[in-house]
Amino acid sequence: MDKLQAIGAFREVARQGGFAAAARALNSSPPSISRLISDLEKDLGVRLFNRSTRIVGLTEEGEQFLRRGVALVEELEAVTEEFRERRTEPRGHLRISSVVAFGQERIAQMVPGFLEKNPKVTVDLEISNRKVDLIQEHFDLAFRVGGAEGLESSMLKARKVFSQKLNFVATPEYTAAHGTPRNLDDLEKHRIVKQVSGTWGQINQFQHNGQEIVFSLPNDFVVNSPNAARNAVLTGKVIGLMADYLTTDYIANGELERLLPAYETSEQPIYAVFVHRNYMAAKVRTFIDHIVKCL
């Protein structure tokens, strides 16, 4: 048995969810894939898949082997790719996940420039607030708010690429019609759009004159999308508290103005999270460097 070939077949069956689909992906036949998996199970002394006529699912041992055994093969592939790419430019498919607002407002805008410089790389960008499993779902990279502390796996590593702060903003039309709040208590007299995602946004912490203030915005209008909150503010009917990178251009062209500048939130770091390997694929390293340079 070629163990590397068998592990590759195992990885593809786990990825595709079946022997026939794995065989098509590997340009092989279902019996050949089944034989490789059976030989691998015999060699390991465990059952890797629960098989039925309609479904193929990983056993507990299979899930463990997917995390640990397949990681070794991917490490070897990364080393091989690293040495090859020392002589060539980055190449291959890059699968990226990003939180919604940052992905829409920043990452998506930077991908075309990266592709222009690296024409042998293709990119699949999934924009979602779903916390993907980089290892099991085969993502190369994920952009998350926070993430350096408490990574769910020791196989993951994080690099800070950006920091955001939350600012109060409104249109000039709004403040002309309703006045400008002077402090947080004044917000009770105004209509506010409040962005909440899970527990995030329920309570905010501000620094004011060297003191920390814990404050909760009113719940008159709550949304779970930062882009939706910004669009609501642009109607000129509400005030919003949102990430500075979402409003910078609008403030510069006069569509929005910043309110309560003396009240600042703490910086919220945004990290690029990736699978830790001694040899990082050039396509991943180059993309992270590109994002850092652009930001």
CATH number for the domain that contains residue 45: 1.10.10.10
Q: Does 247 lie in the same domain as 174? A: yes
Q: Does 189 lie in the same domain as 247? A: yes
More confident residue, 32 or 198: 32
Q: Does 287 lie in the same domain as 150? A: yes
Average model confidence (pLDDT) across the chain: 88
> Cα–Cα distance between 160 and 248 in angstroms, integer?
21
Average pLDDT rounded to a whole number, residues 27-42: 91
Q: Using 50, 70 and 90 to split pLDDT, how confident is the model at 153?
A: low
Average pLDDT rounded to a whole number, residues 165-174: 96
Q: Which helix (H) or strand (E) holds 113?
A: helix 108-117
Contact 258, 173 (CB under 8 A): no
Query: Residue 139 pLDDT more than 80?
Result: yes
Q: Which range among 88-92, 110-114, 176-180 shows the weakest confidence by mean pLDDT?
A: 88-92
Contact 230, 247 (CB under 8 A): yes
Q: Using 50, 70 and 90 to split pLDDT, how confident is the model at 281?
A: confident
pLDDT value, residue 261: 93
Q: Does 52 lie in the same domain as 12? A: yes
Average pLDDT rounded to a whole number, residues 16-25: 88
Q: Does 273 lie in the same domain as 150? A: yes
Query: Residue 230 pLDDT more than 70?
Result: yes
> Cα–Cα distance between 212 and 110 in angstroms, integer?
36
Q: Does 258 lie in the same domain as 227? A: yes
Q: Does 202 lie in the same domain as 60? A: no
Q: Does 274 lie in the same domain as 154? A: yes
Query: Residue 18 pLDDT more than 80?
Result: yes
> Cα–Cα distance between 146 and 55 in angstroms, integer?
37
The domain boundary residue, chosen from 84, 112, 131 = 84
Q: Does 119 lie in the same domain as 66? A: no
* Domains of the chain: total: 3
Q: Does 113 lie in the same domain as 56? A: no
pLDDT value, residue 152: 60
pLDDT value, residue 256: 97
Contact 31, 101 (CB under 8 A): no
Query: Residue 273 pLDDT more than 70?
Result: yes
Strand-pair category, 257-259 with 166-170: antiparallel
In total, the chain counts a number of residues equal to 295
The domain boundary residue, chosen from 84, 107, 123 = 84
Instruction: List the CATH number of the domain containing 93.
Output: 3.40.190.10
pLDDT value, residue 135: 81
The residue segments making up the domain with residue 154 are: 88-162+269-294
> Cα–Cα distance between 168 and 220 in angstroms, integer?
16
Return the exposure string of 272-287: e unless at least 16 CB atoms fall within 10 Å of the residue's CB, then b: bbbbebebbbbbbebb
Q: Does 156 lie in the same domain as 95? A: yes
Residue entry with tokens 């814990």: 214
pLDDT tens figures, 52-109: 766 788 899 988 888 887 777 777 777 777 666 655 678 889 999 999 999 999 999 9
The domain boundary residue, chosen from 46, 67, 84 = 84
Highest average pLDDT, of 36-40, 72-76, 106-110, 145-149, comes from 106-110
pLDDT value, residue 275: 85
pLDDT value, residue 147: 57
Q: Does 8 lie in the same domain as 75? A: yes
